[in-house]
Amino acid sequence: MDLVLVGLPGSGKTAVGRRLASRHGAAFIDLDDEIERAAAASVPEIFAGEGEAGFRRRERAAVAALGPPDAGGALQRVISPGGGAVVDPRNRWALFRGRRVAWLDARPEVIAQRLRRSPVARPLVQGPDPLGRVRSLAAARERFYAAGTRINGVADLAGVLGQLEILLASPASGCTTLLHAVTPIGEVRLGEGMAVDALDQALRGLHARRAVLVSEPGAWGAAGETTATGLRAAGWAVETVMLPAGEDAKRLAVIEDAARALARLRLERAEPLVAIGGGALGDPAGFLAATYARGVPWIQVPTTLVAQVDSAIGGKTGVDLPEGKNLLGAFHHPAAIVLDVALLRSLPERQLRAAMGEIVKMAALGDEALFATVEAHGAAIARGDVSAFEYGAVAEVVERAAWAKVEVVIADERELAAKAGRISLNLGHTVAHAIEAVDGYATLMHGEAVAYGLRAAARVGTALGVTPADRAARIERVLDRLSLAMDPLPFPPEAVIAATGTDKKHAAGRLRWVLPTADGYVTRDDVPEALVREAVARVLAGRGGGVA
């Protein structure tokens, strides 16, 4: 067995790791030492010569050089990665899977004091506000460290070692947690094969007495049934309320039936519901949770890529009316969101590809790391390549895109950052919604429509001079690579333009467009109708037939 120790600089990883390793006759591996040895240079020298990018490349190589985790029962290696190594999702994927992970947690005050006393110069505490720097580092990294089992790192060495011995003696769970964040919009856990484990913890946290699962036949077959079996094995009494598959679930009549089923189960006010499914299940299940007994807590276990990166985050719940989609609803944040990427393996290719439309949107809003990841691995994910799951690309994209949405929603909830306003999520949606309306929601999936909308927004933005040509080209190129919004669409341009609300009946300037900039977005309410006309005509003509 291997143990990975994570925590801030000064959390005691080296002292604790060496002691634990020698006690068990195991090897202690300090990843920064390995990097220095391979480079024949010190970490500061590598930073000076190769920059941070060079160091991070070497760090990835050092993680890869560890090889597969030791599968035996005895402790073989104690691995201490540098404090920042686990910020990279792929490093966590390679380090945490198949290994025990412990987080040596100590309050920033304790860390700052220890670092100040350290005989080795610690750059982190050399500035004017050492405690402030440690605090902000702790805040930025806690969600990565908290994927491990929390060890009280303030205890004396014997106490810390005692807690680690208990962890080593506990049975292996066989699942991997990659991220755990406590946020104002719910607890977020991300990992592989950890849905049951995470649900178990979330239900305990809510003092649930049973697991009431709400699902639909498609998600149930792919993910719900095995989750229910796992929960039963963990000692939970499980009840199930089944909604219809697809958009059919988003009807008020379905909510009434489901609410009556909950009444028969005598669901009480504080009892949580667990929604297992894609967006078409999460929306009505969340609405049920928002309204039953004037609101009960709920936990989301999204089972589609769209749901994991988008619909499960943000608290928007609701049902459709014959007059329009999502007309009836409520904001009701889940208490916990469980993102288990293993559940996505059974998704059909078309769904994966369509979801990439929303993911490109999040990237184009200014998440450079997500953009680069989508450029490198998006096509493999869209094809449903098994390898994209195996080497962690799916987990990385889900983490980056889901976290980008978490940040937008949190910023908006607190109205802290006008720049990160929720309106940004409408990038590409002006034309997407219009296309979907003209399509009667019949042939295109939402993410596919968003891809057309993104191309339109890039063209409008370029014409207005807010989107640099190279940014627009980059957005178009990544959509090309994903084979999204390529085909001509058989809809009359006039109908689509009318559906955007830009037609003459509406006073100019009422419609707020979100347009990409070099590294983010702006909103504009002065997009001339002629420009919309041109952009819509171009995207409807498809990639082959459009004006160059």
Ligand X SMILES: NC(=O)c1ccc[n+]([C@@H]2O[C@H](COP(=O)([O-])OP(=O)(O)OC[C@H]3O[C@@H](n4cnc5c(N)ncnc54)[C@H](O)[C@@H]3O)[C@@H](O)[C@H]2O)c1
List residues binding ligand X (CB under 6 A).
216, 218-219, 222-223, 245-247, 250, 277-281, 283, 303-304, 306-307, 310-311, 314, 316, 326, 343, 346-347, 351, 446
Measured from the CB of residue 515, what is the shortest distance to ligand X in angstroms?
21
Q: Which is nearer to ligand X, 104 or 219 (CB)?
A: 219
**Position of minimal CB gap to ligand X:** 218
Q: Which is nearer to ligand X, 118 or 443 (CB)?
A: 443
Rounded-to-integer distance, Cα 521 and Cα 426, Å: 11
* Closer by beta carbon to ligand X, 5 or else 427: 427
Q: Kindly tell me which of 227 and 462 has the beta carbon lying closer to ligand X.
A: 227
- Minimal distance in Å, beta carbon 471 to ligand X? 25
Neighbour tally for 12: CB within 10 Å: 23
CB 428 to ligand X: min, Å: 13
Amino acid at 545: G
Cα separation, 238 vs 211, in Å, equals 5
> Token digits for 367?
């998440």
Given the structure tokens 């347009």, which residue do they identify?
515
**Smallest distance from the beta carbon of 403 to ligand X, in angstroms?**
16
CB nearer ligand X, residue 13 or residue 189: 189
CB of 469 to ligand X, least distance (A): 30
- Quote the least distance from Cβ 389 to ligand X, whole Å: 13
**Quick one: which of 483, 468, 199 has its CA closest to 343?**
199
Nearer to ligand X, 135 or 422 (CB): 422
Q: Taking the CA of residue 298 as centre, how many other CA atoms within 13 Å lie in the half-sphere pointing to its CB?
A: 35
Helices (H) and strands (E) in the chain, counts: 23, 16
Residue 500 CB, shortest distance to ligand X, in Å, is 19
Q: How far is the CB of 351 from ligand X (least distance, A)?
A: 6
Give the H or E element holding residue 153. Answer: none
Give the nearer residue to ligand X in terms of CB position, either 148 or 357: 357
Count CB neighbours of 418 within 10 A.
9
Residue 201 is encoded by which pair of tokens? Answer: 């913890």
262 contacts 292 by C-beta, under 8 angstroms: yes
Q: Which is nearer to ligand X, 222 or 456 (CB)?
A: 222
CB-wise, 78 or 356, nearer to ligand X? 356
Locate 498 and state its tokens: 């009318």
Which phi and psi (to 5°) does residue 275 adopt?
-95, 120
Q: Which of 2/310 has CB closer to ligand X? A: 310
Task: Determine how many CB atoms are found less than 10 A away from the CB of residue 475.
Answer: 26
Task: Supply the minimum distance, in Å, between the C-beta of residue 193 and ligand X.
Answer: 13
In this structure, the strands spanning 176-183 and 186-192 are antiparallel
Q: Please identify, using beta-carbon distances, which residue of 125 and 425 lies nearer to ligand X.
A: 425
Q: What tokens appear for 150 in the block?
A: 């929390």
Asked if residues 48 and 56 have their Cβ atoms less than 8 Å apart, the reply is: no
Contacts 24+ apart (CB under 8 A), 31-36: 31/59, 31/62, 31/63, 31/79, 31/80, 31/81, 31/82, 31/85, 32/82, 34/62, 34/65, 35/59, 35/62, 35/82
Which C-beta is closer to ligand X: that of 105 or that of 320?
320
Q: How far is the CB of 300 from ligand X (least distance, A)?
A: 10
Considering the complex, state which of residue 217 and residue 546 has its C-beta at the smaller distance from ligand X: 217
Residue 140: half-sphere exposure toward Cβ, Cα within 13 Å: 13
Closest separation in Å from C-beta 370 to ligand X: 17
| Cβ neighbours, 10 Å, residue 242 | 17
Backbone angles phi, psi at 149, to 5 degrees: -70, 130
Residue 227 CB, nearest distance to ligand X (Å)? 11
- CA 212 – CA 271 distance, rounded (Å): 8
Query: Given the DSSP bridges, would you call strands 100-105 and 149-152 parallel, antiparallel or unpaired?
Result: parallel
| Min CB(233)–ligand X separation in Å | 21
- d(C-alpha 135, C-alpha 138), whole Å: 5
Please provide the DSSP assignment of 72-125 as one string. Answer: SSS--EEEE--TTGGGSHHHHHHHHTTSEEEEEE--HHHHHHHHHH-SS--GGG
